[in-house]
Structure 1
Amino acid sequence: MDINTIIEGAHGVSLRNLERGDADAMSVLANNPAIARNLRNAFPHPYTRKDAVFYIEKAREGAWGYCQAIYYEEAFAGVINLMPQEDVYRHTAEIGYWLGEPYWHRGIMTEAIRLMCRHAFSQTGIIRIYAGVFSYNRYSAAALVKNGFVLEGIRKKAVLKYNELFDEHFYALLKS
């Protein structure tokens, strides 16, 4: 899937290629323990400008799959990506995302997920998109459910985050 254009959505939300110019805003928004808490440990905290530059460069090389900046009313607000799977799972992609705290509870992530899934289903051979959500992250689960994702299963005590064990809920959306 090649996303070289801006994907415009509703309510001022758009997806764009990550650019080097996003590094300052990205590092400020991502440097938040409330964001790091909901992501895998590969997401550093504290999050520096150097981390943002590294992530953007790797995204531009394709290391994170189909990776896009989330913009809200022309301001950088977060990141969303689809990581295509391999071998017998090659028809599947994992979706991941984060949104800066000033943009929470506005429906922005729900719209970004909708845009990414719609684009993936219409432009690629992907027919299944899934996400793993830590059990305490009810807002992420809600954004997925609003987009038609269905809870497929729960892996008990699968996540070790900050020395605590949590369940991981798996949601999936199939191309209709």
Structure 2
Amino acid sequence: MPDAARWDAVRLDGAGFVLRRWRADDLDVLLRHADDPAVVRGLSHRFPTPYTRADGEAFLAGRVVDFNDPVFAIEVDGAACGGIGARPGVGERAHSAELGYWLGQAHWGRGLMTRAVGLYTAWVFDALRLHRLQATVLDFNTGSARVLDKNGFLDEGRMRHAVIKDGRLFDLRLFARTRALD
């Protein structure tokens, strides 16, 4: 199993943002951006609403996601405002990973997530020696689908009625990007 400390020194500098490890002192800005129903609307159940201090503390302590995986904060102007990470597959799927990301609403509409996904994707393919990176998007989340499309992910199809969120059934769209084989 990988050692979470191996990601501690990673810092990816992008155009107007930085990708870096989450820190305990990110709690207040995490709460500010994560406790927003518009943000949570397109995310999995691991991202609760309302997003409480206890939720933020559990996340930063590694009880929600596995910090052995490359899970990073998106930082703008010195403060975390979103997150991005990949969960590696195991066994016969160890050559692939699932991408996830979110961004505080105050930063939407500026191309920031498109740039962050582009930078992270290029890095994580090499860091984890991946051949496939995939992401699922709730069918109504057209902004997230555009981010993936702009970064060379192909829409591989729709999983009908795959998710129940807020008592309603939703389809999931599956996107993936693969590494060309030599």
TM-score strictly above 0.5:
yes
Partner in structure 2 of residue 160 of structure 1? 164
Distance in 2 (alpha carbons) for counterparts of 1:56 and 1:107: 26
DSSP-derived class of the 2:61 partner: helix
Q: How far 1:115 moved relative to its partner?
A: 1.4
**Residue 84 of structure 2 corresponds to residue 74 of structure 1:** no
Name which of 29, 33, 50 aligns with 1:46: 50
5+ residue gaps, structure 1: none
What TM-score results when the alignment is normalised by the length of structure 1?
0.93
Q: How far 1:8 moved relative to its partner?
A: 0.3
* Aligned-residue identity in percent: 35
DSSP-derived class of the 1:65 partner: coil
**Residue 12 of structure 2 corresponds to residue 7 of structure 1:** yes
Partner in structure 1 of residue 90 of structure 2? 86
Gap change, CA 1:157 and 1:55, over 3 Å in 2: same
Q: How far 1:61 moved relative to its partner?
A: 8.4
Partner in structure 1 of residue 135 of structure 2? 131
Distance in 1 (alpha carbons) for counterparts of 2:168 and 2:64: 34
DSSP-derived class of the 1:22 partner: helix
DSSP-derived class of the 2:62 partner: helix
Distance in 1 (alpha carbons) for counterparts of 2:64 and 2:135: 22
Letter in 2 for 1:93: A
Aligned length: 175
DSSP-derived class of the 1:58 partner: coil
Contact 1:36/1:45 (8 A) holds in 2? yes
Letter in 2 for 1:6: R
When the two chains are superposed, the root-mean-square deviation of aligned CA atoms in Å is 1.8
Distance in 2 (alpha carbons) for counterparts of 1:49 and 1:116: 28
Letter in 1 for 2:37: P
DSSP-derived class of the 1:171 partner: strand
Q: How far 1:125 moved relative to its partner?
A: 1.4
**Residue 28 of structure 2 corresponds to residue 24 of structure 1:** yes
DSSP-derived class of the 2:130 partner: coil
**Residue 50 of structure 2 corresponds to residue 56 of structure 1:** no
What TM-score results when the alignment is normalised by the length of structure 2?
0.90
